[in-house]
Amino acid sequence: MQTEFFKIESENDIDKIRCVGKILKDGGVVGIPTETVYGLAANALDEVAVSKIFEAKGRPQDNPLIVHIADFNEIYNLVSEVPPEAVLLAKHFWPGPLTIILPRSSIVPKSVSAGLDTVAIRMPSHPIARAIIREAGVPLAAPSANVSGKPSPTTAQHVWNDLNGRIDAVADGGTCIVGLESTVVTLCQNPPRLLRPGKITPDELAQILGEIEVDSSVLGELQKGVTPASPGMKYKHYSPNANVVIVRGKFDNFAEYICATNHDGVMALCFDGEEKLLPVPCLSFGKKEDTAQQARTLFDALRKVDELGAKTVYVRCPASDGVGLAVLNRLLRAAEFEVIDL
């Protein structure tokens, strides 16, 4: 398949946005920018189009998709009940990096939700994403636009590298400003439960919802035989080919540990300013105190680690407060929970 590439300057780049909208209307799949990561979009109400997403990504059939809307009113078609908490969350955080899980209406194909009777809904804030959804005229199902298991894409080039030849088009809307996927919260449980951390933090959600629970899969490894609340949490994720190891502790101990390793094929992912102090090739993923910057940079850094051919990469452990919780959540999965405490 020939994959078209559209460089879209802004939401006013109408001609190209129309082209992308038409591909989606006609049942195609397109990599589109959002503020979090690039999504692989198709008409959420068209089962055949949705099946192309699973095929292009190599995504397991039991991992449900998020449905993206541009206007709040679209939600009434997609879910069978809109509780007051959903309206409150939308008022505060939409458009933006929050996904809300609600009871699915029968108009949404079962395959979108991988057979669950719930559906995940998000209204992105990226102006180009919103223009594309409006132009398509239908809600768009979109997982992250990476090959399943790889780090999520934060640039159109990442999408192109993963999916060129397997999808109809890529819409380049620049680098994603958040850099990690949306926060996922379910209102189908009482109290509401955080399933995936993101830029919107548990504290921010609690300010609106009162009590919220944080699912044990956020920082813990899923136990064998337990059904995960969010199916995506059971898969190996966000992983470069290199073996990722998180090292928790002070920088001096980190440096000492790296010095003592066999340096062959070893790299370090560290914080700004630490690169020169380590005896192996290093990449920084942001300032130590700036977890928002780490969020923005992490996936690109994980992809670069592979381009540089590293066999093992030792990673400095981020602080787990604020958006750091999301950075740590993604890193733990990339490392398959391999953490060294020093």
The residue within the footprint of Mg ion, chosen from 144, 186, 230, 284 (CB under 5 A), is: 144
Give the residue, chosen from 33, 39, 153, 324, that forms a contact with ligand TXA under the rule CB under 6 A: 39
Residue 33 preceded by cis peptide, ω within 30:
no
From ligand TXA, Mg ion, none, interface partner of 95 (C-beta below 5 to 8 A by class): none
**DSSP for 315-331?**
EEPPP-STTHHHHHHHH
Q: How far is CA 220 from the centre of its chain?
A: 18
- Give least dist CB 113 to ligand TXA, A: 5
The encoded tokens of residue 74 equal: 């679209």
Q: Annotate each residue in 132-171 with x if it binds ligand TXA (CB under 6 A) or - if it does not, as one string.
A: ----------xxx---------------------------
Interface with ligand TXA in residues 116-135 (CB under 6 A): 116, 118-120, 122
Nearest distance in Å: CB 34, ligand TXA: 5
184 near ligand TXA, rule: CB under 6 A: yes
**Site for ligand TXA (CB under 6 A): which residue of 20, 44, 56, 101?**
101
CA distance 49 to 41: 9
Pick between residue 144 and residue 239 the one whose CB is nearest to Mg ion. Answer: 144
Kindly tell me which residue out of 182, 291, 294, 297 binds ligand TXA, with binding defined by CB under 6 A: 182
Phi, psi of 284 (to 5 degrees): -95, 145
Give strand ranges (E) for 126-265: 140-141, 169-172, 183-186, 193-196, 213-214, 243-248
Distance (Å, whole) CA 28 – CA 138 = 13
Give the whole-angstrom CA distance, residue 134 versus residue 213.
Answer: 34
Binding partner selected for residue 49 from ligand TXA, Mg ion, none, CB under the kind-specific 5 to 8 Å limit: none
CA distances 173 to 5, 11, 127, 149, 156, Å, are 11, 9, 9, 23, 7
CA angle, 148 then 150 then 153, to 5°: 100
Distance CA 258, CA 252 (A): 10
How near is the Cβ of 84 to ligand TXA at its closest, in Å? 20
Size of the site for ligand TXA (CB under 6 A): 28
**For the CA atoms of 46, 188, 123, 329, what is the dihedral angle to 10 degrees?**
-110
Kindly write out the interface string for residues 179-208 of this chain, putting x where it contacts Mg ion by CB under 5 A and - elsewhere: ------------------------------
Q: By CB under 6 A, name the one of 3, 51, 63, 261 that touches ligand TXA.
A: 63
Q: In the window 202-261, what residues touch ligand TXA (CB under 6 A)?
A: 230-233
Choose between 65 and 132: whose C-beta lies nearer to ligand TXA. Answer: 65
Which of the choices Mg ion, ligand TXA, none does residue 116 contact, using the CB cut-off of 5 to 8 A by kind? ligand TXA
Number of Cβ within a 10 Å radius of residue 264: 8
Provide the binding-site residues for Mg ion, judged by CB under 5 A.
144
Provide the binding-site residues for ligand TXA, judged by CB under 6 A.
34, 36-37, 39, 63-66, 99, 101, 113, 116, 118-120, 122, 142-144, 181-182, 184, 195-196, 230-233
